[in-house]
Structure 1
Amino acid sequence: MGGWVHGQGIPRAKMKIGGSFDTREGRDVDRMRHACDIVGPDAALFVDANGAYTAKQAVRFMWKVRELDISWLEEPVSSDNLARLCLEVWRHQRWLRITTLAAACNLEISGDCAPHMSVHAAAATPNFRHLEWFHDHVRIENMFFEGCLNPQCGMLRPSTKPGNRLAIRTGALEKYRVA
C-alpha cells in the first residue's frame, strides 16, 4: 500500500476486511489502523467486506472505526441482499445499463478488476468514482499485455485513440498453456 500511495502517487488504497465473518473484528480494526498509518493522512483508505456482514453488523463495525475516516465501504453485505448492497459491478456488456441505473439513484460506480481493460469505459462514465488498482490484477496485466498504463500522480490517462491499445504478449502466455 505504501508503495502505491507514496511511490506511484495513487491517492487511495483498498484492503479486504471481514475475512473471519465477524468473528475477529478486532483484527480488522487493527489492520485498518495499521493501513491508515502506512498510507498517511493524505490518502484515502477503502475497505471491502466481500459480503461478510449483516446490515446491522456493517453499521456497527463502521461505527467502531469512524475515527479512521474510511471513505469507501464496498460490499458490506452479501450480494444476495440487493436492497442494501453497495453498487459495484464490472461487466462491460452491462456497464451502460448499470451506470445509468446507478446515476438515476444518485450512486457512484467503482470499476473493479482488470484496470487496463476497464479504464476507457470508466473514464466515459459521469458517475464514475474510482478504478481499483489490485496488485495481482496489475501484475498479471503487465505480464501478459504490452501497452499497460502507468499511474501518474495517482491517475491513469487512457489513450484518445480507439481501442484499449493493449497487445498480447504471446511468449509470456506460452508457459501457462494447458492443452
Structure 2
Amino acid sequence: MTIRKLRTIDLIIFTVVGSILDIVIGLKGFFGIVAFVSIGIPLVVLSYIRWGKYALLANLVLAIVHLFLFEAPFLSRLAHSLALMLLSCSLFIQRWSFYRVTRLNFGLVVGLYIALYLIMFFGEWCMLLIFQMEIPLENLALNHSINILVGSFLLGLMAIQKELLVHMDPYLREKSEENKQHE
C-alpha cells in the first residue's frame, strides 16, 4: 500500500470517527453533561501530528459539523467553527519545534494540544466580541475546560500506542528502509 493510500484511509477514519462522535455527543450529551465536548478536536490534532498539511480537510469537515451541530445563535456557532480552523496553527508550531522528531512523547503532544486549544479558545472569544456576542471569558472557559480534560485524557491513551503519535511520512520511510535492510 502506498503512503498516499494509507494517508487517505487514515484521515478518512479519523475524520468520520471524530465527526460521528461529536454528532452523537452533541445530540445526546456527554454522560449527562450538556456542554461542548468534542472528541473530534484531539483527533484533528492527531491528524496534524501524523500527516501535517493533509489534515486541513479533516479540520474543515469538523468545523462544518460544529457549525450545524449545536443549538446556539448562528454567529456563536460561526465563531466556534472559525476558531476550530485555528487548529491549523499546529502546522506552524510543528515547523518551529519538534517537526524533525519522528515519535512524539506524551508531554509534547499534550503541550501542543493545550497550546492549540488556547489559540482556538481565545480566537473564539475574540470572534464573539467582533460579532458583538459578548460572553464573559470565565463562562467560556468553564464550558471548554471539560473538553481540555477529555482531550488530554484521550491523547494520553493515544500515547500508550507506540505508532500512533508519529509523523507518518518519515516513520513509513524509516520502516521501508528497515525492511529493505532485512531482506
TM-score, normalised via structure 1 length: 0.29
Please state which structure has a larger fraction of its residues in helix.
2
